[in-house]
Structure 1
Amino acid sequence: QAIEKQLKICGYKSNVDVVALYLARQGLRSIPSLSQFRRLRYLWINNNKIQDLTFLIKNYYLTELYLNNNELTDISGALKHLCSLQILFLHNNELKKLGKTVKELKGMISLQTLNLFHNPLEYDPDYRLYVIYFLPSVQLLDRKLVTQKERESALNLYNPKRAWVMQSVAFGKRADTSLGTTVGPGRCTQQARRPIMPSGQEFGNNTNRVPFEDPEDAVLVRAVTRSLMEFSSVDWNKVATSQERRLENKAEEPLEKLTVQFR
């Protein structure tokens, strides 16, 4: 009845015309399938008592979805097909498992605005950095802009190897962080280890064998041992010719040599 009422209010003549539905604050506990609205893009279901989201199984065109202030405890398998979502509000629910919730949203490469606050999962250690790392497209998280510093911290926490490589090759600088440095406790963190070049592999010997157990170690070693190019230039106008030296017509001046190095 709530859906039919909204269709009449908006004056939609056919299901194909429906691009927005406002079903907020209706006291709804369940909603029938919305699969007939194939072009639905904007959906408000906030401030109800919804516990299940299976009614969204066919709404692939959704770009904005407002599910805040409901009774959701798990969204696994309910939203991952909504790859066009740009705005998703899930705050003020009962979502408890951060890993499962974020996994459901990983395929949303266009997701820019996400609210997860006021859910039990927000008390998970490093909650914000975890979401930032695994959902890199999100720019506004819990009504707060994601900063570059937060992205760097998330990368250092959840992928220290990649962070080290990126830091070492950026602007031709070497990394300040040692490969043996460990990262603070957190989800999915591992102790960074120093790659060891196997004996006999330093100069490409024994090419039939794989020189590293972990292919990423090869990247790290290559980053440390980058090739170096050096260019030097001299102002030859200040260099005395052999005839000038012989006749002593021109005083000898110290040479100014400009050297530039590239990595």
Structure 2
Amino acid sequence: MKRDDESRLHLGRRGLCFVPDLSKFSMLRCVCLNNNKITEICRTSFNCCLTELYLQNNYITSISGPLRHLSCLRVLLLHNNQIKCLDETVAELRNMQDLHTLSLYLNPFTQDPQYRHYVVHHFPSVQLLDRKEVNLGETRLAFKTFNTERQRVLDSIAFGRRALPPPAGGKYINKNPSSQHRTKCKNSLNNGTERPSGIRQTQNSIVQVKVIKWSGSGLAQWNPVKSKPPIDH
């Protein structure tokens, strides 16, 4: 066992088949276990303050369970292993909000053509993925690909095809005057008393705009004006 100091531990190229229990070393911040024969990781292998973990070039088939408590991790190398499930891997790493360097290539799930964008979408803090810098174009494309509904709403708003939803606790009022005018006319006809049988409806509107008052929120007030019923000929 080689220790540079109390915070770094190097166990690479030792022929290890398992990860020893290192959780009791509370000062450890960096652990190197690369180039061994490790197939699985114990749930109590590492302390929660670890910031760098090197597990590349092993035979690990799953990381579900033993890493999710490593919320301080900034560097994680897992390339050239046998991890098959991408969803499980993403779920395991989702608490790592400070993760900026991640390496997963040469695992079976990386053969999926959308693998990189999927990882970029779920880990916005990652700046270096598989030894390649994450650029703004990849981030935007990942957002459009895996956040399709939200992107559709944003696109429709940008092109004026859809209005924003009403704020919480508020009431949305259509700002289109002609639409409000038609609505008021319809409500006046539907909610009023029945017309006498000798009176028929004419083509003229029975509601007129009396006051248009625009407030800071852009809402219009409409006041109905009573008019004489048309005379039946």
**TM-score band w.r.t. shorter chain:** 0.5 to 0.7
Match status 1:38 vs 2:21 = no
**Aligned residue number for residue 57 of structure 2:** 69
3-state SS in 1 of match to 2:2:
helix
- Whether the 8 Å CA contact 1:56–1:79 is kept in 2: the answer is no
3-state SS in 2 of match to 1:131:
helix
The RMSD of aligned alpha carbons is 2.8
Match status 1:93 vs 2:81 = yes
Match of 2:10 among 22, 25, 39: 22
Cα shift at 1:36? 1.6
**Aligned residue number for residue 145 of structure 1:** 133
* 1:63 alignment partner AA: T
Match of 2:2 among 3, 6, 17: 6
- Whether the 8 Å CA contact 1:31–1:55 is kept in 2: the answer is no
Match of 1:122 among 110, 119, 127: 110
* 1:6 alignment partner AA: K
Cα shift at 1:32? 2.3
* 1:84 alignment partner AA: C
**Aligned residue number for residue 81 of structure 1:** 69
In the TM superposition, what are the counterparts of 1:194-209 in structure 2 within 5 Å?
203=173
Cα shift at 1:72? 0.3
- Whether the 8 Å CA contact 2:76–2:101 is kept in 1: the answer is yes
Per residue, is there more helix in 1 or in 2? Answer: 1
- Whether the 8 Å CA contact 1:69–1:90 is kept in 2: the answer is yes
3-state SS in 2 of match to 1:54:
coil
Cα shift at 1:62? 0.8
Runs of 4+ in 1 over 6 A off after TM superposition: none
In the TM superposition, what are the counterparts of 1:207-226 in structure 2 within 5 Å?
none
Larger radius of gyration: 2
In the TM superposition, what are the counterparts of 1:243-262 in structure 2 within 5 Å?
none
- Whether the 8 Å CA contact 1:34–1:55 is kept in 2: the answer is no
Q: Aligned in 2, Cα 1:80/1:115: closer, same or farther, shift over 3 Å?
A: same
User: Could you list the per-position Cα deviations for residues 94-129 of structure 1 after superposition, in whole angstroms to 9, with x for gaps in the alignment?
Assistant: 011111111111110000000000110101230000
**Aligned residue number for residue 190 of structure 1:** none
Aligned mates of 2:53, 2:154 — CA distance in 1: 36
- Whether the 8 Å CA contact 1:33–1:55 is kept in 2: the answer is no
- Whether the 8 Å CA contact 1:164–1:175 is kept in 2: the answer is no
- Structure 1: where are the runs of 5+ without partners? 13-17, 180-193, 205-226, 229-263
- Whether the 8 Å CA contact 2:31–2:52 is kept in 1: the answer is yes
Aligned mates of 1:48, 1:55 — CA distance in 2: 19
**Aligned residue number for residue 238 of structure 1:** none
- Whether the 8 Å CA contact 1:35–1:55 is kept in 2: the answer is no
Cα shift at 1:165? 4.3
Match status 1:158 vs 2:146 = yes
Aligned residues: 172
- Structure 2: where are the runs of 5+ without partners? 166-170, 175-216, 219-233
**Aligned residue number for residue 196 of structure 2:** none
Identity %: 43
Q: Aligned in 2, Cα 1:58/1:122: closer, same or farther, shift over 3 Å?
A: closer
- Whether the 8 Å CA contact 2:86–2:109 is kept in 1: the answer is yes
Q: Aligned in 2, Cα 1:91/1:58: closer, same or farther, shift over 3 Å?
A: closer
